[in-house]
Amino acid sequence: MEKYVCTVCGYTYDPKTGDPDNDIPAGTSFDDLPDDWVCPVCGASKDQFEPED
pLDDT tens string for the chain (53 positions)? 999 999 999 999 999 999 999 999 999 999 999 999 999 999 999 999 999 98
Whether the CB-CB separation of 39 and 6 falls below 8 Å is answered with: yes
13: β partners: 4
Whether the CB-CB separation of 26 and 14 falls below 8 Å is answered with: no
Whether the CB-CB separation of 47 and 39 falls below 8 Å is answered with: no
Residue 27 annotated as lining a ligand binding site: no
C-alpha count within 13 angstroms, C-beta hemisphere, residue 8: 13
Residue 53 annotated as lining a ligand binding site: no
Domain 4-51 classification at class level: mainly beta
Residue 9 annotated as lining a ligand binding site: yes
DSSP 3-state of 6: strand
Where are the domains positioned within the chain?
Answer: 4-51
pTM of the prediction? 0.93
Residue 48 annotated as lining a ligand binding site: no
